[in-house]
Chain A
Amino acid sequence: MTRRLVVVGASLSGLRAVEGARKAGFDGRITLIGAEEHLPYDRPPLSKAFLDGGAEVPFFRDESVLTGELDVELVLGTRATGLDVGQQVVRAGGWDVPYDGLVIATGATARTLPGAEELAGVHTLRTLDDALAVREALDARARTVVIGAGFIGSEVASGARKRGLPVTVVEAAPTPLVRAVGAMGAPCSALHLANGTDLRCGTAVVALEGEGRVERVRLADGSVIEADLVVVGAGAVAETRWLEGSGLRLDNGVVCDETLAAGPPGVYAAGDVARWYNPLFERHMRLEHWSSAAEQGAAAGAAAALPGTAKPYETVPYFWSDWYDTRIQFVGTPDSDEVSIALGDVESNRFVALYRSGDRLVGALALNKQREIMKFRALIARRASWSDALDFAAMRRELIPGGVR
């Protein structure tokens, strides 16, 4: 009997699962099921270059590569609705799709606001369709309000400012990005002010108002902002609704061991939907980052396709974001006891901040320090001590006259 691999979720992680299985030598049948109509595409550009206009839709592969070279059955525009791990079938579009190996790569869904669906001009930014709608609104020179000063929201604000459009970012927390970069949220959000974005922190949105289409945003502090476009950047939730009742352990994602195995025979998870045990940090993590989604996809695809080949996956999380003319990069985890500027200085927008937990280096944030950040990622991967990290930073400072360049 030919073994069959089913991959649910046709974004980066799902695509890499297919490629990972083939690269590992799997010659059985592969079915790729995706909820969106589109061929797999890349998401990071959607809130960056794509919004500036001109950029093409960032599809990963031509259909002919998927169905030919990779020999995949594509089932797009079809949402998986259930999983039976006893019978080993995925329910999708009214069909039961049997599997021997399964990769769950359904990603995450953007959070929205109550009532947002009823008004035109209110969008999240997660999918290609979202990005097309937001770009069209920016093309029409929309007055823009971004709700949530996280990375996606900040990138949208940056894109709108590049076009010279008025933008307001509304953030409920007193300081933005606390969960993402800890104490360094303030220097990041200062970039908004320096680039003419109106940043309102510590105030909630009470209402989106308009006749059929959004016209204004009302805030808890009583102020009202006129808007043609509202982008809700309030994070994303692991897409596990279709797995309820399947017996899989669901807790902020599909809970997996260090090999990305979800428990039942042949079932693995990868990407934004997976909360797996990261041996490097000795705890479960769910990441919404490009690199881990790609790597986990490849690992889970090979493991699900070829029984007995699963290996532990560990990584130092890495994400990047482009705001105005600043490249922000973060490696590791912001959960820490101390944060210290190790290179450069905050005022110049060129610095590296290091994050300590116990006696270990666990994270590093860089603004416009592309040359330094991966060196600290390597230290974190080697489980470097805090004092080793500080010594290394001192050595790097010696290489850079004045510590700034």
Chain B
Amino acid sequence: MNVEILAAGILTGGLYALIGLGISLTFGVLGMMNLAHGEFVIAGAYLASLLVTGAGWDPLAVLPLAMIAVALIAYPLQRFLLTPLLRASKTAPLVATFGLLLLAEALFQAVFGTHPKTLPAPYAAAGITIFGIRVQTVYVIAFALTVVLCGATHLLLTRTRAGSAVRAASADPETAAILGINVGRVYAMTLAFAAALAAAGGVMTGVAQSFTPTSGLPLLLTGFAVMALAGIGTVGGVLLAGVTLGVIQSVAVSVFGGGWSDVVVYLVFFLALAIRPQGLFRRAAA
């Protein structure tokens, strides 16, 4: 087995983990499967493209702005559309996020056109050699970014008051509300944060690959695959699951050929759901 294939798999796995982290958060805290998560990713890429191709900024400089912008879009969506639906019925949020997916795809198409776009950057086509292995610079940067964001998420959740409020609301919303936690605001902040993570993933995806208005759905499934592998519980588990998925995919492609790269993701996802729905890396205690 070629080391470079493994290395490429690990690095792309970092990007997968970033996408999966947002989905994990949303499902873990809100109990909602957000079908529009892939659209948050692409929204990050498109919003970044406004400054990157429009004003020539570097994508990494635009990244925080894209994260904030997408978070600002997600907050009212959760607060005023999705939270009321969460209380109403079990299937309504799923269908509503599905409607958001359709709407987002159509809006991207209307505003940005259907041509594939990329975010140009000096490191987009650069490679570096680490420990004698040749890898793409952009994926190294994405992996580093993922680690930083995962660390930040973990710290936020475990070391801050806001994080405790989130964990309380996710464990028992009713009791949390009685204790004075504004559950509606917590839910909205969580989705906004998840959306920001998605946007970060989107910017890096935009630099490393190209994106179109319909690129969101495959990314959504990748994120779900990571979540299914990881289970709900730890941020570190999501990172490990992402890397695992990346490696499995990379190995499968080199053994069976390029056509299997997507199939592998879906098969892994489905098998994980069916055989071990609680995930591989779930911590035993909540």
Q: Are both chains from one complex?
A: no
**Interface on A for B, CB 8 Å cutoff?**
none
